[in-house]
Amino acid sequence: MANKQDNDGLTLEARIDALSPQRLALLTGAFIVVLAVLMAFELNEKVTSRALETQLRLERMVGDGADSMNIAIMTGAPAREALQRNSAPGYVAFYHLSPSGDILTAEGRTDIVTIPDAAIRSLDINRRGDIVLDLAGGKVAAFWRPLDNGEILLAAAPARDMFDRSRAWVIYAVILAAMTLVIVSLMAAFIRQSRAAVEAAHALTTLTDFKTALTGGRCSPWFFQSEKRLVSFSRAFLEPLGLGARDRHFTLREISAIVHPQDLRSAMAIFSGEPSGGHEGVVRFRDPGGLWSKVYLRTSRDATRFDRAGVAFDLSGAKAIAPGAAIAETRLRDAIESIPEAFVLWDAHGRLAIWNKRFTSIFRIPAKVLKPGLTLDEVSTCAGVAGDVLAEFFGPLDGEDAVENLEVPLPGTRWAHVSRRRTVEGGYVCVSTNVTDLKRRARAQKKKERELERTVEDLEASRRELSEAMQKYQYEKYRAEEASRSKSEFLANMSHELRTPLNAINGFSEVMQSELYGPLGDTKYKEYVTDILSSGRHLLELIDDILDMSKIEAGKLKLEPKRIELEKTLSECTRLVSKRAADANVKLTTSVGHAPPVWADGRAVKQVALNLLSNAVKFTPEGGEVTLTVEADLDGVTIIVADSGVGIERAQMKKLGAPFELAESHFAKSSDGSGLGLALSKSLMELQGGILALASQPGKGTVACATFPRRTDAKVRLPQFVRKEAYYLVGAEQISPNFSATQAAE
């Protein structure tokens, strides 16, 4: 029986170990490998994207640079200035080459990107082309275009990444290392838990074996609690005596009631140490039927009255049977009952010999029905449930098989591991272990494995979709940039083509209006000439605005900020607008004598001021008033243009600043204009790091504010009186004391 319990204990430890930390480690390693492969694919996509971006930018730069160089050749401008205007961010070098391949001019990061003369002469530079050169400093991408005079413009940059950004593999390596560390830590914790579970199972097995041994010998430890005056016994000792089916505490008064009067003094001396001197002896206990059973009590000779414990042996039946046989039979019966799982023993003739209560409870067999000598069919007939399972898996083995181990379904969605083996005398012993929890954990683990596989498949699909989306994005981005460039080039070319005949029309109209070669004759002709000149000048202004917008959108408009005398500039603007205001019967009032200098581009300041004044005059009805004032602080100067026009709804202000957009009002529709004035002003203020804002109320008028910095990187803000009502076309939506010009530009 001891060997059987050892085998059961080993089986429990083996099943706990069957959770397989090695298997979890393999699964974790596979997951990390799959994750690393996915990151490797993504890293490759990142490197390819950067190289493609470098090639596209270089191709565009060399095309724009060739156009600038051709214009410089036509106008006689220095080639170095044309190259400087096309300088770009990143490690890009421009080489101006002779038809024979000699370097005439070099600009940009030639200290980083250096191409030897021999490498240049090996290129076919007589026609446009591109190549990736493998030089000593690394691979270099080069694009070249022939110029109109036979010379060549070559642009070069590192082929890997023209911006020399940090290596993409570093980020992915850090992410993979962090995830690997977390997963390995979790796996190590699980392995430690598994080992702790094995140790706990071993301890439980040892405790069960110890308890089984004590129960088999009808032996029990006892403990005396001196404070409460209680004596404790285990169920294994009390149940055979009929004193209870559970562990129990007895008071000394209760002990005196169940101990024979002649043995009471000896029992009290052993249990409590009073009177002293008693350490062992045979004491008679009375069962509920009034019979006496002999019990051998013992404690240590060193036990004190405050710390006493010992053992009790049941000596019942010692006179009727041999002591060895009685002890063996008692141990056998108690050991079988103490087994936590079902146990049944069949003799060599296939008849029932021994069983325990766990066996009867599983199959709901009444305890009074079973008795030794029943056949398997008779026992299965007595079963309340699952009699077929009992007959098939819990009876003697068929054939010559000596051992059988298998898992069997039990009533109530439970599972048991049934082990049947032949005994020495030819009988069979059958023991079942409840493995329901292990089966559930195994199913849960398989479910998690399937979920993990689906997750890996989803990640792979997401990676493919992301790669396709990235390729589409790059293609669409390239198309959008090409379309924007083509539009800007078309507008610029068209504007140049239109300005030539318009200049002639305006010039001849001015000659005819001045009647330089004699009178025109009828006065109607003079009116027509005046209309032609007015319309031509208006059309020329629109074309100039369109040309400026196209330059801004193409990024070719370069401002030159410097110290500007604002008072002089505003006075010139007032003189230019005064005639238009007089013709429209609008009173123009200016107060700019105190205007301090600003740090800005002179042409841009003048154009912004003219646009604001022109809009105010244009949208102010006859008899209205337009006022130009200046307000300054330590950091900036604000040009304030106020009119008494019809005003603008705040909801309509969102359209202002977009090219060719006019605010929706009946007065705006009746006024001429392309809608480019505010758009140009907005773009110019963005380039200068200033603020452009409007405050308006329908029927009361509009206040337009343009704030310029007084020095480089100065913090600019609107005047206090207009901040609350202002709608910002350029600048932050909330102006605080920490708002700076550079922040406004961003």
User: Tell me: the pLDDT tens digits for 56-107?
Assistant: 888 888 888 888 888 888 887 777 777 777 776 777 888 888 887 788 788 8
The letter for the amino acid at 544 is: D
| Residue 258 in this model has a pLDDT that exceeds 70 | yes
pLDDT in tens, 615-638: 899 889 999 999 999 999 999 999
Most confident of 7-11, 53-57, 152-156, 481-485: 152-156
Secondary element (H or E) of residue 715: none
Helix axes 436-514, 21-75, angle to 10 degrees: 10
Sign of the alpha-carbon torsion through 226, 230, 235, 240:
positive
Q: Which two tokens stand for residue 605?
A: 């300041």
| Residue 703 in this model has a pLDDT that exceeds 90 | yes
In this predicted structure, what is the pLDDT of residue 412? 67
pLDDT in tens, 330-381: 667 777 777 777 888 888 777 888 888 888 777 788 877 887 888 888 888 8
pTM given for the model: 0.36
Higher pLDDT, 28 or 325: 28
In the chain, % of residues over pLDDT 90: 9
Considering the chain, what is the average pLDDT of its residues? 78
Residues 6+ apart with CB under 8 A from 601: 559, 560, 561, 562, 564, 684, 687, 688
Please check whether residue 711 is in contact with residue 658, taking contact to mean a CB–CB distance below 8 angstroms: no
pLDDT band at 401 (very low <50, low <70, confident <90, very high): low
Please check whether residue 81 is in contact with residue 72, taking contact to mean a CB–CB distance below 8 angstroms: yes
Rounded Cα distance, 494 and 488, in Å: 10
β partners of residue 145: 153
Q: What are the φ and ψ backbone dihedral angles of 75, each rounded to 5 degrees?
A: -90, -10
Where residue 138 falls (left for φ over 0; alpha for ψ -120 to 50; beta otherwise) is left
Q: Which two tokens stand for residue 388?
A: 């077929």
In this predicted structure, what is the pLDDT of residue 320? 40
Q: What are the φ and ψ backbone dihedral angles of 50, each rounded to 5 degrees?
A: -65, -40
